[in-house]
Structure 1
């Protein structure tokens, strides 16, 4: 890994000070407005345009004082305290690009990131949040998503965000404070939720899981919604009670850092032996062996996918009922179901 430039400069990220301050603020405002236009064009918040104002108001650059960009041979760190004005400008423009940003690496492995803003907007809109809702976020990340939630709800105390890593929660807390928000930031295993602040009307995870933790159902009010990445998709569940939830996947692909903690194993890689080359490269095909948890070998997955008309993500869903949880195609009681891990 290398730095984009040399020694640290005076001041803090997002606050260059002196004669540059006004120019910097204007550039940040233009970059944020451009990001909002990009998300507008994507249609991400079409179902709930109230999120437009949140993205227009919350300054993303305060949540990514540095991030990593892939370069030949590794990563380059871009940061807001570079002494080089050109490097600071590249950092700022990158902070408002509609792309995910790698924010924390450990031994070359990505352990935390800031998600693609248009995907964040789609997820937030799919939650169908209403005024007064209490929201739990699994995976604090940079704190940016929690700030968007707090801005939308107009009450920091309605938002709780949890992460296993104390360094991540501490930095998220600092970023949120810099942006003027103080939601509850908790250090703990996200799979266990945060029972002391329950019940929640909405739970959103920004990290990938192999199944649905039962603790989330117990902490979600009846009629609440849970949105979480599973496999390479996003499933939205309606909670009936502490033992029953069900819902379908959204139409968009999604790739998130796995939830850490609790000794949870990584899901097996899909086995694609015997799959024609055109299907191997088809993202919709690859979703089927992933959502089935590797229980379909490559050839069986391909034959099912082709026979069922190359189903899009919206035809898949997940049901949790008591001690059992399973993924399905078209119907929870249909012929194509796959148990999820405990």
Structure 2
């Protein structure tokens, strides 16, 4: 047998692993700098250490990039070292990554890291808090939570067993072992309750009653809704209330029984400047089924094109409604039954 020639390892898809590890560290540091520049860490700078330590690329061994002819699959175990490098650099871009598709439908993704950081900082966790994550995804967000709080304090749930199996494997490979549950996230995880924080990574039509009942008084629930992010404070098992953050947020819907897809609104007669406005589309999504687009437009104009932070959600003994400025003010709209 001849001497080992490292240059030949490219033919086996093995060469460059050391280089990839070094490149990953450089790219991860660059991503953390981008997140820091965005201001996402400002409310809780302790999250910077988590994003510095947890390797995102190991949670996305492949992902899909939209192209002219559909989706291109990028794979970390490609035989081509240039393809592997492109996969790695893409894993550390501050963008969401499509990780699971079925018949062209996006089922799961790794969220934009700066948005993840903003959400985690807004969750205001403290040592000893028990956190439930709705939507396990790749496991990356659960790993960040586990780094910060410890495995014993983190539970993540997803409806799809393939997703939870994959997330569990990714987490174990990086050394984290939070509780990963396969089930309907709308029902929470009662056997792990009570929780101090619940964070959802999927869009809701309303806040599931089970989540509120599984929280301690004073707990926070952070969830995407109507292209925004609402932060609710739980008063007791029947009451929670809070406002939206200013930032836009787009996630795949919460899946499971009893949650039909919303029909797109027909905006005939609404001026183009409103149809093109992210803030008007937020109001339209929040009031769908209650205000028609023309009514929503009249309110939007009358109130000076309000930002997301002027809106809020109240859940009170089973009833749930959205509101502008004040829970008992003149503008309030019922939400679907949770």
- Answering whether residue 52 of structure 2 is matched by residue 56 of structure 1, we say yes
Partner of 2:281: 286
In 1: Cα distance, 2:303 partner to 2:16 partner: 59
Work out whether 1:228 is the aligned partner of 2:223: yes
Q: Which residue of 1 aligns with 2:82?
A: 86
User: Do the aligned residues in 1 keep the contact of 2:16 with 2:81 (CA within 8 Å)?
Assistant: no
The more displaced of 63-72 and 287-296 is 287-296
CA distance in 1, matches of 2:112, 2:289: 27
2-structure distance, mates of 1:176, 1:146: 8
Which residue number corresponds to residue 130 of structure 2? 134
Q: Does 1:100 align with 2:128?
A: no
Residue aligning to 1:21:
17
Distance 2:83 2:74 in 1: 7
Contact 2:239–2:315 (CA under 8 A) maintained in structure 1: yes
- Mapped partners of 1:259, 1:248: distance in 2: 20
The Cα of 1:323 is off from its aligned counterpart by 1.6
Verify: 1:327 aligned to 2:306, yes or no: no
Q: Measure, in 1, the Cα distance between the counterparts of 2:273 and 2:121.
A: 33
Matches within 5 A, 1:138-149: 138-149=134-145
Q: 1: CA distance between counterparts of 2:54 and 2:286?
A: 34
C-alpha separation between the residues in 1 aligned to 2:20 and 2:87? 12
User: Deviation per CA, 1:105-144, whole angstroms, max 9, x where unpaired?
Assistant: 0011100000000000000000000001000000000000
Superposition TM-score, scaled by structure 2 size: 0.95
State whether structure 2 residue 32 is matched by structure 1 residue 36: yes
**Residues 192-232 of structure 1: per-residue CA shift (max 9 Å, x gap):** 00000000000000001100000000101100000001111
1:299-322 deviations in whole A, cap 9, x for unaligned? 211110111011000000000000
Separation (CA, whole Å) in 2 of partners of 1:310 and 1:121:
27
Structure 2 residue aligned with 1:120? 116
2:245 paired residue number: 250
- CA distance in 2 between partners of 1:270 and 1:123 (Å): 28
Give matches, 1:136-285, under 5 Å: 136-153=132-149, 155-285=150-280
Q: State the match for 2:3 in structure 1.
A: none
Given the two structures, how large is their TM-score scaled by the length of structure 1? 0.94
Deviation digits for residues 244-266 of structure 1 (CA, Å, limit 9, x no counterpart) = 00000000111100111113112
Q: Secondary structure at the match of 1:112?
A: strand
d(CA) in 2 for partners of 1:206 and 1:286? 20
Structure 2, gaps ≥5 residues long? 1-10
Shift in Å, 1:62:
0.5
Whole-angstrom CA distance in 1 between matches of 2:111 and 2:140: 9
How far apart, CA to CA, are the structure 1 residues paired with 2:261 and 2:105? 14
**Distance across 2 between alignment mates of 1:264 and 1:299:** 26
Cα deviation for residue 270 of structure 1 reads: 2.7
Q: Distance in 1 between matches of 2:223 and 2:263?
A: 19
- SS of 2:71's equivalent in the other structure is strand
Shift of 1:269: 2.0
Q: How many residues align?
A: 328
Deviation at 1:20, TM superposition (A): 2.0
